[in-house]
A and B are shown apart, each in its own frame.
Chain A
């Protein structure tokens, strides 16, 4: 029972590089979301999706893009990495919006 799978676990980028954080869930959840977690700031919502083909911005969307072509996958793209994007990123899903969230194990990203 895989749940929410995030890859990679760790990543180091140089300023200006682009990359995609992968997220997949096998629970047939409609709602998926991306959070970043920074010391003293808690979990902040980046983007979310309430179903395939539907995405929307959260609290801190600038510098990130998402797509939801299937129910299972919800990748997060960093277009041009900046040091301010150094953080721990979590993907989470739930059956419906506002219900129990299942989190992945996180991606620790450093931008130099």
Chain B
């Protein structure tokens, strides 16, 4: 059972366009993290959201945690070629020794 569903799986858009990717679950998470992974490298943390309804901004990236703490979204404004990568969401159920549960990721390609 995949606890975290990410959509879309693949997305290819032109530079300058806006996009949103989603991370959904039927489970409640105490916190949710977003990572970006480039080819040949390990994932790198972008942001952690903790409170239901929380919105965090990282330059052109806006992250939102759902009110019920079951889902999250990542919105990119005016995408740039440097945004290309694999975006992964990961949830923590808190107190569990097995750590984070990862979604399968969204492969994002920004074309010049």
Contact = CB atoms under 8 A, between A and B. Distances in A.
A50 B43 CA distance: 21
Nearest to A90: B42
A12 interface: no
Interface string A61-84: 000000000000000000000000
A103 B95 CA distance: 21
A100 B99 contact: no
Interface residues of A, number: 26
Contacts of A98: 30-31, 92-96, 99-100
Contacts of B88: 42-43
Contacts, number: 63
A90 B42 CA distance: 7
B41 A48 contact: no
Interface in B25-45: 30-31, 33, 35, 40-45
Interface of A: 4, 31, 33, 35, 40-45, 48, 50, 56, 58, 90, 92, 94, 97-101, 103-106
Given A98-B93, A98-B95, A105-B42, 10 more contacts: A33-B99, A42-B104, A48-B99, A90-B43, A94-B99, A97-B98, A97-B99, A100-B45, A103-B43, A106-B41
Interface of B: 30-31, 33, 35, 40-45, 48, 88, 90, 92-100, 102-105
